[in-house]
Amino acid sequence: MSMQPFLVENRGILLAYDQGLEHGPTDLNERNVDPAFIMRLAADGKFTGLVFQKGIAEKYYDGKVPLVLKVNGKTNLVKGEPVARQICSVQHAAEIGAKAVGYTIYIGSAHESLMLEEFGRIQEEAHRLKMAAIAWIYPRGEAIKNDTAPEIVAYAARTGLEVGADAVKIKYTGEVESFRWAVKSAGKTRVFMSGGPKAPSEADFLKQVRGALDAGATGLAVGRNVWQSADPIKMARALRTLVVENRSVEEAVRA
Amino acid sequence: MSMQPFLVENRGILLAYDQGLEHGPTDLNERNVDPAFIMRLAADGKFTGLVFQKGIAEKYYDGKVPLVLKVNGKTNLVKGEPVARQICSVQHAAEIGAKAVGYTIYIGSAHESLMLEEFGRIQEEAHRLKMAAIAWIYPRGEAIKNDTAPEIVAYAARTGLEVGADAVKIKYTGEVESFRWAVKSAGKTRVFMSGGPKAPSEADFLKQVRGALDAGATGLAVGRNVWQSADPIKMARALRTLVVENRSVEEAVRA
Amino acid sequence: MSMQPFLVENRGILLAYDQGLEHGPTDLNERNVDPAFIMRLAADGKFTGLVFQKGIAEKYYDGKVPLVLKVNGKTNLVKGEPVARQICSVQHAAEIGAKAVGYTIYIGSAHESLMLEEFGRIQEEAHRLKMAAIAWIYPRGEAIKNDTAPEIVAYAARTGLEVGADAVKIKYTGEVESFRWAVKSAGKTRVFMSGGPKAPSEADFLKQVRGALDAGATGLAVGRNVWQSADPIKMARALRTLVVENRSVEEAVRA
Amino acid sequence: MSMQPFLVENRGILLAYDQGLEHGPTDLNERNVDPAFIMRLAADGKFTGLVFQKGIAEKYYDGKVPLVLKVNGKTNLVKGEPVARQICSVQHAAEIGAKAVGYTIYIGSAHESLMLEEFGRIQEEAHRLKMAAIAWIYPRGEAIKNDTAPEIVAYAARTGLEVGADAVKIKYTGEVESFRWAVKSAGKTRVFMSGGPKAPSEADFLKQVRGALDAGATGLAVGRNVWQSADPIKMARALRTLVVENRSVEEAVRA
Amino acid sequence: MSMQPFLVENRGILLAYDQGLEHGPTDLNERNVDPAFIMRLAADGKFTGLVFQKGIAEKYYDGKVPLVLKVNGKTNLVKGEPVARQICSVQHAAEIGAKAVGYTIYIGSAHESLMLEEFGRIQEEAHRLKMAAIAWIYPRGEAIKNDTAPEIVAYAARTGLEVGADAVKIKYTGEVESFRWAVKSAGKTRVFMSGGPKAPSEADFLKQVRGALDAGATGLAVGRNVWQSADPIKMARALRTLVVENRSVEEAVRA
């Protein structure tokens, strides 16, 4: 299925807002705790896509920005090998108006096979309903020492291709060269860099994004680095300049 | 789906009576052990809703007060990480006359993902049958040191919003300010304070409820603080004054 | 659904014969090992009901005495937290001619939630097919020190009511007063005392039954105390006198 | 359902050949490794039934001897509490031409309840399709010290009756008296002695079979003691003489 | 079902390319990381079949070489007893154009029964859709000391026959004689040698293949020894000469 609904100039910037479930409201403040704020930000900031869990989509989604419905999730309160099962049916995601479903697979977890199987079913169902299937692939579990090591990130990217994801969301390795290998490993599966926790400075973050793009990434999924920013619209503009207009970090900062 | 059937003046007081399964009859006495007593109390005390497990609803429910059917549950005899699975189908709850289903999710439990998944299916089915889906969200498991810590309560509230609950039942944090954050985290998902074990005095309990309301809660789900009271109807009147008429604790005590 | 098919004068005596699976043939002797002997005993002894696993019902049941089909079961060879899953479908029980299904729930077991869920489905299906659903509720597992302690027995009784059993089979507490509380906790769910292992004397056993009846029980489910008896028909007559005719232990012994 | 297709003079000799999966080819030699050899042996040796896993039945079965399709199985490479799940659907077994399905239940295993449940479904489905359901009942797991102890063998036999098997395959206890009790415990469920590993001498083996028959068994299921024999046809003739013609060991040896 | 689509002169050479999921991109280089390169190689190298996971098949498969769709898989990041569950439905494999499905069973794993059961369902469904079912059988788990020991390899082969695989992919034992026994144990199930990791020299590898063929194998499934080769087309030609034309290693090297 196509990622076209989420692309402008063949690039994409997804505004991610599922942290309320994944990390809890400690990630949020008085302003961005309100999904309505995020809805406006997505439209005003010209994001090419928006990522919600079903509850927020049902109550706040207005259709202005294409929606990725995250169909599994978990809290960070649980210890042990990670697992997140399906919370939202693909059919329901379609009824809410989503153009894609998102699903997290913790490769390396003792529960990996359960998530690979579930993603397998979801991907087929999504395609039948003409929706894209995006895999968040996060290496975890006792065997994973460093989840941004180049060979681990490339493995995550490749897993996305092998299991039939239309796009894969993975962490940045820190360098263009090693990330280029990850992108190459993903083949025709589009690569979105994971925004991750708030970076020390805006420029630091934009440099990472630039690196990912130079390595061949289609774009990024970003949350905290936008909506925890003092001026989210300015950050959105910077990202748009960098990603969609394909400019330099310097031009993006000045945008 | 709407919580309207359970609201008066946009507020709600749910009489909870699933403790027979959750805690056993040690919570009960010669009078309140009889569900028929609770049925009358719900009507006479003008509660806006009633919470039963299926067995009690099937044998005693008379339709006078809107029903929340609790569709999962467990005894407190089991040790280890908590889990409660679905005991009553959503279709059956509808046939009994329920206007909402209730489901407990123990976030933090090793079995969390199983309950998130099950709630996900139940919520969609309930909405198809025009019933509300209410989540009892209780943080539990080895990672949870204090389940009324503000960040934990806010996490519970937010989980309710993210997974699509129409209302969430959570514990009170003890202070208005921190509970306000929990209510804000829940967004358009209505917050009901959990009544909890019998408070030392009636006034103590009413002060907590007042705090929750001042923080933005829609109301409360209360059991033992009403039906273990020496004068349940008086307690019901006090709660009605406080919650529905939105008066002070002093006025409620005198009501 | 109604327990009427199993009641005479609003009382019931169920002849239980699922010990072959639950305990193995060490409970049996040359005579009572034969289900045909039990079939005749049920009719001749005027029992109001009969309890079989599916295999025995399929090969021996003749329709003379109303049948409870036990739909789960296990051997006593397995160690660890007890679990017994469904062996007979409700539809099949109906086709065999059963008027009720029986299901054992080991509350307190680490597998409790699995059995509560399974009973939940079975109960709804049984009621759709106009059969009663009877719960054998046995507290077990590492948290249970004494399964005839009054609060534990009352918890078992209450669980039966909460989960929608038409009748519950529980152990006797040993005293009328405490068992009365268990019966009260069960509400409109009928209470059948569990016959248990063979009592030291016939009179001892009858005294327990008399106590249970005085506490409000509907009757009992009895196996070994009848068919291990030297004169099962005499024992049956004694029980009938005690339970259905509601006489004293002395009258029953003389019957 | 009836075991009639497998009986001659009300007795049965089933040629078992599922050891390739259960034990691996170390049980086999250059000749008997070939299922075609077994097919011919079954016909030439006038066995009354044949036991195959699905793969062998699909590729070699010619319909000359009635087929029991073994629908679960496992290798002996796995350690820990034994479990074997369904590999062949009942419908598929019927399409292959089987007149019965076979299923192994490891009573005493920590996974016992899973197998009892699965057998329960399979038995009902087999009967709907007019096939017999035969239970291989093997006591295993940490609680089982001696799986040919009389009370354990009798328990296995009784389990077959209770769960609705048309026939049960169990180990021989070593003596007629104790095995008679096992047969009696099985009631109307027919008992087939399990052939087991190759006996020290032919006469030893035939004596065991004679003992089982004298105890009331319908016959045996035999593999290695036939097809590992130097002269399988002679062994088949001996068994036929012993079992179907009901002669003595001496007559059988001379046959 | 027939393996015919994959055979030329009754022999087969399957180009395997599922290592991206099973081992990660560390197996790959700049050239062979691209599935399009593999697609061309399969056609130009005249392979008789091609093995892909669903994602690669969906995005790259052009129908020129018959496809085996691998329907389960796992990463090598997970520790503990191995398990790989179904990721691609059989129906979907058929829609992609596959002529066979491939499934890995880790015999000896604590999860063996789960995979045997899943393969059982997949095999029946594949045959209904006129596709072959190929089993990758890999002995693993704490009981397996040496997975190329003759008795272990023969057990793997036999398992393929018993569970109904049309072909089985197993490791080479290292000698013709012992592998001949494995092939014999597989009966009418065709045996494909597993190519395994890159051999020290091309001749070493070809000798192994020659040994497997001399032992009766139908062919091999090969990945790294071809696409990690400096001249994959030359290697393909050598294999074709060896396997399809049934020539000697010397002739194959010169081809």
Chain B residue numbers with beta carbons less than 8 Å from the beta carbon of A84 are 113, 116
For A53, nearest residue in chain B (alpha carbons):
B162
Select from E253, E162, E243 the least CA-distant residue to E195: E243
Taking CB atoms and an 8 Å limit, are A162 and E59 in contact across chains?
A: no
With CB atoms and an 8 Å threshold, state whether C120 touches B73: no
Cα separation, C160 vs B19, in Å, equals 13
pLDDT tens for D124-179 read 999 999 999 999 999 999 889 999 999 999 999 999 999 999 999 999 999 999 99
- Taking only the tens place, the pLDDT of each residue in B171-217 is 999 999 999 999 999 999 999 999 878 888 999 999 999 999 999 99
Are E59 and A187 a contacting pair at CB < 8 A? Answer: yes
CB contact under 8 A, C55 and D164: yes
D190-222 tens-digit pLDDT: 999 998 788 889 999 999 999 999 999 999 999
Residues of B in contact with A34 (CB under 8 A): 184, 187
CA distance B166 to chain C (A): 24
Residue of D nearest to C35 (CA): D187
3-state secondary structure of D14: strand
Contact across the interface for D85 and E117, Cβ inside 8 Å: yes
User: CB D185 to CB C20 under 8 A?
Assistant: yes
Are E87 and A124 in contact (CB < 8 Å)?
A: no
User: What distance in Å separates residue D100's CA from the closest CA in chain C?
Assistant: 17
Q: Give E187's contacts in chain D (Cβ within 8 Å).
A: 33-35, 56, 59-60
Annotation says D138 is catalytic: yes
Contact A248, A238 (CB under 8 A): no
Are the Cβ atoms of E55 and A160 closer than 8 angstroms? yes
Residues contacting E177, CB < 8 A, separation 6+: E215
Specify whether the CB–CB gap between A70 and A52 falls below 8 A: yes
Q: How far apart are CA B35 and CA C189, in angstroms?
A: 12
- Residues A61, A103, A106, A138: which is the catalytic one? A138
A196: pLDDT confidence band, cut at 50, 70 and 90? Answer: confident
C189: confidence class by pLDDT, cuts 50, 70, 90 = very high
Contacts of A159 in chain E (CB under 8 A): 20-21, 75
pLDDT, mean of residues C136-146: 93
pTM for this structure?
0.97
Which residue carries 């402008």 as its tokens? A8
pLDDT of residue A197: 83
pLDDT band for position C195 (cuts 50, 70, 90): confident
Q: What is the dihedral of CA E176, E179, E181, E184, to 10 degrees?
A: -110
Give the integer Cα–Cα distance in Å for B85 and B68. 17
Residues 6+ apart with CB under 8 A from E27: E19, E20, E224, E228
Q: From the candidates A54, A70, A99, A169, which is the catalytic residue?
A: A169
The two tokens of residue E134 are 């190929």
The size of the D-E interface in CB pairs under 8 A is 110
Question: Chain D residue with minimal CA distance to C77?
Answer: D108
Q: Which of B116, B154, B158 sits opposite A87 (nearest CB)?
A: B116
Burial label, D230 (beta-carbon count in 10 A; 0-12, 13-18, 19+): exposed
D192, D167 in Cβ contact below 8 A? Answer: yes
Q: Where are the alpha helices (DSSP H) in chain D?
A: 19-22, 35-44, 54-60, 90-96, 112-128, 150-162, 176-185, 202-214, 224-227, 232-243, 249-254
Give the model confidence (pLDDT) of E155-197 as tens digits.
999 999 999 999 999 999 999 999 999 999 999 999 999 987 8
Side-chain-side CA neighbours of C245 within 13 Å: the count stands at 15
Provide the pLDDT confidence category of residue B1 given band limits of 50, 70 and 90: low
- Of A81, B58, B101, the C-alpha closest to C1 is B58
C113 vs C104: CA distance, rounded Å: 13
Angstrom CA distances, D59 to D39, D54, D65, D131, stand at 11, 9, 15, 21
Which residues in chain D are closer than 8 Å to C60, comparing Cβ atoms? 187-188
Rounded CA separation E90/B23 (Å): 47
Please, which chains are in contact with D (at least 3 CB pairs closer than 8 A)?
Answer: C, E
Contact B215, B176 (CB under 8 A): yes
Task: Give contacts of B185 with chain A, Cβ < 8 Å.
Answer: 20, 25, 28, 33
**Nearest beta carbon to residue B161 from set A55, A79, A86:** A55
Please give the helix or strand (H or E) that residue A112 lies within, else none.
helix A112-128
At residue B81, what is the residue type? E
Whether C198 is catalytic: no
Min Cα separation C124/chain B (Å): 8
User: pLDDT tens for residues C28-64?
Assistant: 999 999 999 999 999 999 999 999 999 999 999 999 9
Which of C106, C169, C171, C172 is the catalytic position? Answer: C169
- Give the one of A55, A79, A84 whose C-beta lies nearest to B143's C-beta: A79
- Give dist(CA D183, CA B230) in Å, integer: 64
Give the model confidence (pLDDT) of A136-150 as tens digits: 999 998 889 999 999
CA distances from D43 to A67, D119, D233 (A): 67, 29, 10
C224: tokens are: 């070994």
Q: Of these residues, D54, D70, D169, D171, which one is catalytic?
A: D169
Q: Which amino acid is at B70?
A: K
In D, which residues are within 8 Å of E81 by CB distance? none
Average pLDDT along chain A: 96
The beta-carbon neighbor of A155 closest among E75, E80, E88 is: E75
Query: Which of B117, B153, B162 to mutate to test binding with chain A, by most A CBs within 10 Å of its CB?
Result: B162
Sort strands E12-16 and E219-222 into parallel, antiparallel or unpaired: parallel
Burial of residue D203 (number of CB atoms within 10 Å: 0-12, 13-18, 19+):
middle
Among the partner residues B79, B83, B88, nearest to C143 by beta-carbon distance = B79
Best to test chain D binding among C30, C75, C90 (most D CBs inside 10 Å):
C75
The beta strands (E) that lie in C34-177 are given as 49-53, 67-70, 100-105, 132-137, 167-170
Of how many residues is chain E composed?
A: 255
Question: Could you tell me which chain A residue has the CA closest to the CA of E34?
Answer: A187
